Structure 1
Amino acid sequence: MIGTTALLLVALIGTGIPVAAALGLLGYILSERYAFLPLTGALGELAWNASHDFLLVALPMFIMMGELMHRSGISERLFDALAPWFARIPGRLMHTNIAASAIFAATSGSSVATAATIGTVAIPNMARGGYSPPLFLGSIAAGGTLGILIPPSINMILYAVLSDTSVISLYAAGLIPGILLALLFSLTVLVLCLLRPGLDGPPADPQGLWRARLSGLIHLVPPLVLFLLVVGSIYAGIATPTEAAALGLTATLGLVALNHRLTWPVLAAAFEGTARSTGMIMLIVIAAFFLNMVMVSIGLIRAVTDLVLGLGWPPTAMILAIVVFYLLLGCVMETLSMMIATTPIVVPVVKALGFSPIWWGVVFVVLIEAALITPPVGLNLYVVQAVRRSGRFAEVALGALPFVAAMLALVLLLIAVPGLALWLPSLLAPRP
């Protein structure tokens, strides 16, 4: 039954039908074939229970924050303010791509939005600066993935709902690894540019550099204020993630208004983008909850857990095997569907092996980040190529490979030193 289910899921998604339809259809087939009583009659109640979770209300608000920042010009000013600070470092604007992505990620929570926004601003500077297209484009695609690791993260909200874990603990767990991954990306650029100096073009003109750095500091304030307002209010216990998302969206609307960009065309575009993304995510969530209910009721989750534990491998070896499985799966499966379809199956196995689901949530998100920049279905690669509008897709894919290696290094580091993810959540845990 386990093998049949896996083959059915791959076959349905491989046909190209929407992910929500594939998950729902698989749940229907399993229910009709294996369940003692048909479970489709409970679909209406299940859809309501899955969609009225208070935590999920934060999703459209975080999505709209990113939409508004992208369409109001705040992200462009952020990029221009950061660029002078990296002008004397080998790699120059590629470090700016990564730093701007990290800061934008801390307000939008979306990898695709981060890659599209920073790519729109950065790519026009690539030819003018004489940069190597593969590495420059790869830094944008990889930097965009930080949107789902550095809090607030949309994917971590979904993982928290699916795994019944605390999103506050997940946000705390993802902060240090997120900053560390951004540093590893910059280190990757630095090493490659030192080994091959031609990758980063001619040196920058030092004239007026400090003036540009100081004058641009004002444009770093809005995203940093948003980050402190959203994440700070969560960590301080002042607001729940949903309330923090509402605070962040209200503050973003105020910033857009102060920049005189709160117009009907900007709002209409932001509303449309938010509605499209939210509708897609929620339909997949409902289908995944139905599939999970069916798999639990027919004993499939228990069968998978017993099968894995029956192998008798050491826990670390099992985790490494799961990591390899996700690396391969990420090459052929879209990341959101991969997370929603596999979390209910893998998390019980991880718990049974004695690992923290909070720690696994961070490792899992890093693996999803790797899937975003590995062909043939790496979504961020296609986003960057679409923004670029010309050139070969292979250049983007090739340029992202060094950053995949950086992600794998972080995964191994998290396995060797779990405290990198668990230290901050332990500080926030209530004392007995």
Structure 2
Amino acid sequence: MNVMVIGIAFFAMLAMMLVGMPIAVSMAVVGIVGGIAAYGVPFMDSIAPVVWGVQNENLLTSIPLFVLLGELLLRSGIADRMYVALSAWLGRLPGGLLHTNIGSCALFAATSGSSVATAATVGTVALPPLQKRGYPMRASLGTLAAGGTLGILIPPSVNLIVYGSLTNNSIGKLFVAGIVPGLLLTGCFMLWISISSVMGGNAIREAKVPLPERLRTLVHLIPPLVVFGIVMGSLYFGIATAAESAALGVMAALAFVWHSGKLGMELLRNCFISTARISGMILLIIVAAFILNLTISLTGVAEAMTTWVTGLGLSATGLILGLMVFYLVLGMFMDVLSMQVATIPVTYPIAVALGVDPIWFGIFIVLMCELGMITPPVGMNLFVVHGIRPDKGGIEDAIWGALPYALIMILFTLLMVAVPQIVTWLPAHM
């Protein structure tokens, strides 16, 4: 199968997604049609074992558990109290509550595997006080959209689980690898807020909160920190698998929800229904991705692409720079999950063949997907924060507000290319 046929199949899949066809259907159609074209109707007999095997994969059990974990913390009010606590500590920095937006997104990301959920949760809590205190709406929306992207980098991350399942890499190592880049990127965002606020002459600062009162607010940070510690600690020290650590996190979250007095049938019912919907969508896309992967493996597409790219004489750095441009453009038209499942089966073998560390490549892919979440016209986080803003302004405020953070992500990715130990050092010590 030549490169032109591969390109036609990819753009056909992309076209189906752009006209509104569900992601899972688009990928399954390309996979099935390609398989039948290559091997005839008997190809259909090989699909059922693949679907059965995917749905019985223990690793994927962690997806609904991590989604449920985020739902419990979201609906119990823990996120609201977390924002208040962080505002008491970060509000005195130049930029005031804008720092609290980033800090809250980073902390909530440590308990939720979803970028959209992070942006929506913190945005719902933050935007009313930001508007009341006179913060620029453009800067407010930009910090929330960019901060929300940390939800798929700082573990636990559903997208890292998807990458691990598609490439057969350790979820524990991927989670641990995301910690240092996630914290550094959070610091870069906050540094930009301070610099831009001071240089712009509008360095808003919140009133100083007395130390005893600030110390009392720390109790509200205990739930997310304890849940994060249980999940990542059990993974780092090899006590639990990804699914088991997710279950431990859910049990801890239930204990905190019960302690807050919010645990009840109505809350559980809403959490379970939302978890079922989100998990069903994700798992259906993964099944379709494995059908497409079956066609790719049987027809030798990955091998053909690997041979073609390695024949160009590219270095590993040259490939990564090329993929940065590729994912930057692709992120303007596709959502995160579809970008991952549509491209990883082809790009991963090429990267590994050129000597790129598979764990490093996973963090790189997630960073590129993060970038896609704040680049128009399909940046999901832009639409999320625009949808919950209190006034009736246009979405261009969210777009321009998030632009500096998109540039920071690109520069940070280049730093990762130059210093790969940012990603690989911590997993190497597991």
Map 1:33-432 → 2, pairs under 5 A = 33-35=37-39, 38-198=42-202, 201=204, 203-206=205-208, 208-388=209-389, 390-428=392-430
SS in 1 for 2:429: helix
Tell me, yes or no, if the aligned pair for 1:94 and 1:189 is still in contact at 8 Å: yes
Amino acid at match of 2:418: A
Aligned length: 425
Deviations 1:164-192 (A, max 9, x none): 11111111211100100100111111111
- Report deviation, 1:37: 6.2
Please list every run of at least 4 consecutive aligned residues from structure 1 whose deviation after the TM superposition is greater than 6 angstroms.
none
- State how far apart, in whole Å, the 2-side matches of 1:35 and 1:12 are: 23
CA contact (8 A) 2:91 2:99 kept: no
Farther-moved stretch of structure 1 (349-358 vs 262-271): 262-271
Cα distance in 1 for residues equivalent to 2:57 and 2:407:
37
- Equivalent residue, structure 2, for 1:2: 6
Stretch moving more, 307-316 or 402-411: 307-316
Unaligned runs of 5+ in 1: none
The letter for the 2-side match of 1:58 is: S
Give the stretch that moved more between structures: 303-312 or 416-425: 303-312
Measure, in 2, the Cα distance between the counterparts of 1:264 and 1:162.
36
1:141–1:381 contact (8 Å) kept in structure 2:
yes
Contact 1:82 1:213 in 2 (8 A): no
The one-letter amino acid of 1:81's match is A
- Give the distance between the partners of 2:270 and 2:55, measured in 1 at CA: 24
Q: Which moved more, 1:114-123 or 1:264-273?
A: 264-273
Separation (CA, whole Å) in 2 of partners of 1:82 and 1:190:
16
2:110 aligns to what SS in structure 1?
helix
Q: Distance in 1 between matches of 2:99 and 2:78?
A: 19
Is contact 1:115-1:380 (8 Å) kept? yes
Alpha-carbon distance between aligned partners in 2 of 1:154 and 1:32, rounded to the nearest angstrom: 32
Question: Could you tell me the TM-score, scaled by structure 2's length?
Answer: 0.97
Give the letter for the 1:343 counterpart: I
Quote the residue 1:20 is aligned against.
Answer: 24
Give the whole-Å Cα distance in 1 for the aligned partners of 2:359 and 2:166. 12
Q: What per-residue deviation string (whole Å, max 9, x for no partner) do you get for residues 333-352 of structure 1?
A: 11101101111111000001
Shift of 1:209: 3.3
For residues 44 and 193 of structure 2, the distance between their equivalents in structure 1, rounded to whole angstroms, comes to: 52
Q: 1:313: Cα distance to partner?
A: 2.2
- Cα distance in structure 2, aligned partners of 1:261 and 1:151: 26
Cα distance in structure 2, aligned partners of 1:46 and 1:346: 21
Q: Whole-Å Cα distance in 2 between the matches of residues 280 and 316 of structure 1? A: 35
Task: Choose 89-98 or 305-314, whichever is displaced more.
Answer: 305-314
Percent identical pairs in the alignment equals: 43
C-alpha distance in structure 2 between counterparts of 1:204 and 1:126, whole Å: 11
SS in 1 for 2:388: helix
Root-mean-square deviation (CA, aligned residues, Å) is: 1.2
2:298 counterpart letter in structure 1: S
Letter in 1 for 2:396: A
In 2, the alpha carbon distance for the partners of 1:59 and 1:332 equals 25
Residue 292 (structure 1) shift: 0.6
What is the alpha-carbon distance in structure 2 between the residues aligned to residue 216 and residue 46 of structure 1? 50
> Residues of 2 paired with 1:65 and 1:394: CA distance?
33
**Distance across 2 between alignment mates of 1:212 and 1:87:** 14
State the Cα deviation string for residues 201-256 of structure 1 (Å, max 9, x = none): 4x4323x4323311201111111111111111111111111111001101111111
Is the contact between residue 163 and residue 362 of structure 2 (CA under 8 Å) also seen in structure 1? Answer: yes
Partners of 1:35 and 1:297 within 8 A in 2: no
Distance 1:224 1:66 in 2: 13
Deviates more, 1:416-425 or 1:27-36: 27-36
Shift of 1:13: 1.1
CA distance in structure 2 between the partners assigned to 1:287 and 1:21 by the alignment: 7
Shift of 1:399: 0.4
- Pick which of 31-40 and 161-170 moved more: 31-40
How far apart are the structure 1 equivalents of 2:330 and 2:308? 20
